[in-house]
Amino acid sequence: MASSEVLLDATQIAGTLDRLVSEIRASLPDGVPVGVIGIRSRGEILAARLVAGLRKLGVQDIETGVLDITLYRDDLAELGPKARVRATEIDFDITGRYVILVDDVLYTGRSARSALDALVDLGRPKAIRLVVLVDRPGRELPIQADLVGVRVSVPDVPVTVHLTESDGVDEVLIG
């Protein structure tokens, strides 16, 4: 970790999330209820912040939930007993909703794939959009984000997201 650099500090994360909130706001179709769903665990925190921002902008019919993708992972067998199953907490019907799927980092695309499979088992949303804080190269599946906070261009460099709620500090580290 000695060689890692700060890609985004707390102020920059706040600014990035503000920008994402207005971009999401602008993308919302009229009259369609919204569901913001975070992928456990840091996607959950980001989803909560985005929802707070969207409510401030006056978005009315908006629900929020948490998706646990463990049971849908394609590396469950390799993961073995290290797999931790936690509850998916989505207390609303996603059918017909405009679903914003939120994660901290988009890398191989496998988490997003698992999340899409998990979501379609819960209902039939009007549409699903993927929003991530960091987009890092290394995709193994044909999956792209619709809205991106920050794009990393260098391949094979690890990205670490820390958020106050889970890690005591807001920062994105690279390297």
Partner 1 sequence: MKKTTAQNEPPLPSGASQAKATPAAQASSARKEKEFVWKRRHLLGLEDLSAEELWHILNTAKGFQPVSTRSIKKVPALRGRVVVNLFFEDSTRTRTSFTLAAQRLSADVLEFNASRSSVSKGESLRDTVRNIEAMGVDTFVIRHSAAGAPHYITRCTDRHVVNAGDGQHEHPTQGLIDIFTILERKGRIEGLNVVIVGDIAHSRVARSNLWGLTKLGANVTFVGPTTLVPKSFEQLGAKVSHNLDAVLKDADVINMLRVQRERIASQVFPSTQEYVRLFGLTRERLAKAKPDVLIMHPGPINRGVELASEVADGPNSSILRQVSNGLAIRMAVLFLLNQVP
Enumerate binding residues for partner 1 (CB under 8 A): 40-42, 44-45, 48, 68, 70-72, 75-76, 79-90, 104-105, 107-108, 110-111, 117, 121-123, 164-168
Q: How far is 169 from 175, CA to CA, in rounded Å?
A: 18
- Supply the minimum distance, in Å, between the C-beta of residue 24 and partner 1: 21
- Supply the minimum distance, in Å, between the C-beta of residue 141 and partner 1: 13
Nearer to partner 1, 18 or 117 (CB): 117
Nearer to partner 1, 57 or 71 (CB): 71
With a CB cutoff of 8 Å and minimum separation 6, the contacts of 154 are 137, 174
- Supply the minimum distance, in Å, between the C-beta of residue 102 and partner 1: 14
Chain center to CA of 23: 15
Q: How far is 89 from 150, CA to CA, in rounded Å?
A: 28
Nearer to partner 1, 23 or 117 (CB): 117
